[in-house]
Structure 1
Amino acid sequence: MQVQTVVFVVATVVAVLSSTVAGASIFPQDGPVRVLTSAKEVDNFVSTVPAAMVMIYAPWCSHCTAFKPAFIQAAGDVADAGLGAFAAVNGDEHRDVIAAYSIKSFPTVLYFADGELKWPYSGPRSAAGLLAYMENPVAPPPPPQPTPLTADGNGDVVILATSNYSSVLLSSPSTFVMLYSPSCGHCKNTIPHFMDAASAALDDDSLPLFAAVDLSLPENGAIGKMLDVAAFPTFVLFDGNIERFRYKGARTKAAFLEWVADPQAPPPPPPPPARAPFTEDGDGDVAMLSPETFDDHLDGFDGTLVMFFAPWCGHCKAMKEPYKAAAATVKAEGLGSLAAVDCTVDNSLCNEFNIKGYPTLIYFGDDDEQITFAGVRSEEGLVAFMRDPQPPPPPPPPPTRTPFTEDGDGDVTMLTPETFDDHLDGSDGTLVMFYAPWCGHCKTMKEPYKAAAATVKAEGLGSLAAVDCTIDRALCGKHDVKGYPTVVYFGADDEQITFAGVRSEEGLVAFMRDPQPPPPPPPPPTRTPFTEDGDGDVTMLTPETFDDHLDGSDGTLVMFYAPWCGHCKAMKEPYKAAAATVKAEGLGSLAAVDCTIDGDLCARHSANAYPTLLHFTDASSSIKYEASRTEDALLEFMREHSSPVDHDEL
């Protein structure tokens, strides 16, 4: 493929690419997020608070807009907790901030402590994630390895930027452009295929030039805005500098080459889901709202309760009839209105109110009052709420830490997430009991544990400690605690041993004198013949063969036994002899199950004592054998309960 070089000076295109949205701020001036306008203001702001988060954004950036509600909410939560303050800068307008902090993409959130920049925030873009980070800030992981298009060598892909964008497009009859971000996982996977396709396209003059734009660079932001790029990677085919098609196919070398050889417009998007009635027999007095009607409806009532729902949601379906009935009562009593929003149709409206689950019910009152409904989802509960809309009660206070025993901790060290690692590092060895105060086994063990702690301390054997898992759940989860009490020994070099000894003072002290892992479990028992000289005509059954054997027999007597059982041993020879006669006379079969190996199968049939003998006509029907354990008695029983096959009738 040959590229003709033609030089054009297109002032209008350059002007479009270099334009930015000036003077716009997506954050309100009177909100909890301080709006800053220069690098100097940033410096002054971060020096006045112990810790700060500063978002550098662009008004056209969709990720910034999506992040804004969580950032605002977190700003209020962080301020209320006294952890610091949040601010934001329109980086598209205030370029000195871009230069001062080497901003490469939007949004970038910088974490400051004691007036100094520590590192960019890379955690979850949620209010909870930001609050958790401010409570325990940690440095981000090292940056990912560069992709081929950001390392040395771009193969046969032309790298576009604002400076050469117009000239490259106008110099080629057609150009296939990938708009990407180096941090995007899909982009990293796609780039090698895109580069291979670019190299293959060089051999065919009919195929376009392959090019790429890194939209994580702020200087290329105008390109992304002009092309309305909403996701990475985005692929656009240009004829000259005119967009022709967008590619939506597979991201492989073969797929790229096949499409650029015969480019087609992508299929039209599916039609939006149709609005359906609130219930099968209509909306009733529930007002179905849309983005166009939402504000006007709320302005027309003193108060409106809105259900944000999805038609497929089971809890929503269960609530619809009570909600519809309550709507009629609310209307009749003049209490306001009940309305609903279908989030599968009006997703943007649900996103505006940060709807995370269905159904979510929010009451909109006077003066922008909003109350999340958390009452009973019944007609009565809804009407009672509308008569007196009140916010839900505050959550109960967290459980308080209590002493290890009623008379104190003694020499047991009570650990928390803040003290856990330091305590273990300062001890030669620590035995930790992870417990719950309500646990009966824990209560029983506490006094011996406390007594052992005193002896261990006196003998210099290390320490005994404890963690209350009803308070420090995360710490217990980190150590994979599944039941109470779980007692784990932490030794040198990250050694961990689960204590499985006797839960007595003596047993605990003996363990601390010589901490050893528990012995390995014994090997599983092996299957042995029914008698020393074999099974004979007794069929040994397992969980895999049990049902099939019983369903395929005219009648089967099954002995559930244990090899060590004396009564079982005494019965085996008569049982084996009877099995041979039963088989010879066509009376069905005699079988056996070893309960030391197939305990679940024995439990399934309530074989709680040995031997237990059950006669099955099929896998689901049985009667208990309670006659004498002799060969004659067994044969008499089988003749009475089995129907021999009449071979003349076959």
Structure 2
Amino acid sequence: MVRHSAFYLAAAASLCLGFAAAEDVVVVSGPKEFDALLKDNSFVVAEFFAPWCGHCKKLAPEYEKAAGPLKKNNPPVTLASIDATEEANKPLAEKYGVQGFPTLKIFKGGDASAPTDYNGPREADGIVSYLQKQSGPASVELTSKADVPAFVQKEVAVLGVFADAKSTEFKTFSAAADAARDEYDFGHVFDSSFLDGEAEPQAAPSILMFKQYDAPMLKYQGKLTDKAAIMEWLSSKSLPSLVELDQKPRNRAALQKIFSSPTPKLLGFAGKDDSNLAEFKKALTDVPTTGAALQVVFIETGGNAQALQYFGIEAKDTPAFVIHDQNNNAKYISFNTKPSKLPGFVSDYEAGKLEKHVKTEAPPKKNNGPVKVVTGTTFEDIVLAKGQNTMIEFYAPWCGHCKTLAPIYEEVGEFFQKNKTVTIAKMDATANDVPDGRFQVKGFPTLMFVDSKGEIKPYEGERTKDGLVEFIEANSVGASSSAASKEEL
């Protein structure tokens, strides 16, 4: 199954990938070799791959290209590759929780017990740049007044002021910087006069945050020896007052947190030329909530066609407000709205007065084929029909695995076509909402079975005609026997 968020043959195949031929990428086989590698190298990046993985094949030449420059870095960075399908490497893959490919882990100081995830780019220059930053000091010392102006112009710059490097406060700051170096730029000075012109004189120790948005400078008021408190301050204060769906670093980190959270989302859609855009954004920034927690995101329609498609919104429908409650598979939409309407929209949501919006295709005029076509509005009538045993496939038109399954699934439909108690159905889950929250579609294809008593079971077996038929027959309640079905066919 192609997982969401992952859009992700043995030795001979790995040679085709180029792993064994790469002079600068270290090929690892087994825990002993891996332990020896960590012992001899202070900074190691290990890629766990599968020879059949398309994403791994795409990464391979970039990874190899990056290995040479990183080998010459100060300190050196060693890139390693581990075929997770190899029997000798399976204990390593299991130990480090490898569940998808490629998975990249960073090991520092020979410590095999606590790697960090590689979250950087997947092309050579980006890999080199990212790992050079990772291998260097987490916080850069600014050694003159002239260093400060350029540093504070970064998207989010965190600057520590300390008397010396021996203090507990500096060590705590450095630990926080190391943990959060992916998200922010950290620097420090041991002479507070360097800040003249950029900030008011700050007594050591202190921590400042400079941002290119919202409040230009903030000062940490908490305990300077509490790493967790510093991390929490960084996380909360670095968020923009209104998060926007774009690729800016300030929003990217915030969006990752928002979309990985189960909290319902309030989304505002508007075009950049909308006459009320400033007022629209202010309404989202100041949104009042009395009971329900909502995470707010602004989406500019011009560069976010995929988001519009997901919610079934066209440009002519905007400005629009959307409340998306993933936990209940519920979407509530106010089309062609005004900023002044937002408080009432949120209030009605909190009071349970809004009608659920279901994105749907028009049902086909004829639907008598071996595989019934399901839409958002016909889902209940077909999939949850009383007395029926139904196998439903949720697919995406662009999904390669779905295309491979299609002819097999059609054969399954033909097998059961004359069986009046079994229905084989499919639904384009990119064009239709699944209105029942019990059906969680997190990848394509997703196959689920509903027996005639309403019990739902996921299908996780082999995607073959025999496998599907056997599962359906074994789990159907009150269905005609397969023998009868075959005789009718």
**Structure ranking higher on relative contact order (CA contacts 8 Å, 6+ apart):** 2
Higher-Rg member (1/2): 1
What is the TM-score normalised by the length of structure 2? 0.31
What is the TM-score normalised by the length of structure 1? 0.24
